[in-house]
Amino acid sequence: MKSASTSNATPPNLAHYGVVELPTGLLFLPGQGCRDPETNLCVGVVRRPDGTIDSYDIEAQARGVFRNIEALLLAAGLTRNHIVDVTVFMKNKADFQAMNRVWDEYFRGCSAPPARTTVFVLDLPGENFIEMKALASRTSGTSAAS
C-alpha cells in the first residue's frame, strides 16, 4: 500500500489522511467536500450579515465536490471514467433529486457510471451539505494521457 499523489488543486485536508493506492491499482479517494481550493471556503453558501448560513445551493456544492474529486484523479493520471464506486453523504433528503441532476451531468459521456450509495447524515464538517468519497481503478476506463 502506498500513498498516492495529492493535488494543489484541492483544498488542504482537515486531518491527516490522503489518497491511498493499492498494488492492484485501486485508488481510495478520501471524502471530498465543496471547499474551493483558492479561497478555502465552501461554495454555494449564502450568509447573513452576521455570518451565519442563510441558504445553500446543493448543485453548486455537488459541482464543487466533483471538481475536487477530479483534481485528485488528474493528479493520479486518471479521469472520471476510472471511478468504480462512490459513497455520497448528504445532510438533507430534499436535496437528493438536485444532486442526481449534477451526478448525471458529471458522468454523462462516461463509458459506465460507477456504483453509488447515498447516505443521509446528521452533520458534515464545515459548511458542507454534501460530501463524497470515491474508489477508482487503474484497470477501468481510459487513462488521462489518452
Show the domains of the chain with their CATH numbers. Answer: 2-137 (3.30.1330.40)
pTM, entire model = 0.87
The predicted pLDDT at position 144 comes to 47
The predicted pLDDT at position 1 comes to 46
Q: Which three cell numbers stand for residue 125?
A: 464538517
The predicted pLDDT at position 19 comes to 83
| pLDDT tens string 24-82 | 999 999 999 999 999 999 999 999 999 999 999 999 999 999 999 999 999 999 999 99
CA distance 119 to 37: 25
Q: Which three cell numbers stand for residue 23?
A: 498494488
CA distance 40 to 145: 29
Greater model confidence, 98 or 112? 98
Chain mean pLDDT for the chain: 89
Q: How many CB atoms lie within 10 A of CB 121?
A: 11
Q: Which three cell numbers stand for residue 140?
A: 477501468
- Give me the percent of the chain exceeding a pLDDT of 90: 75
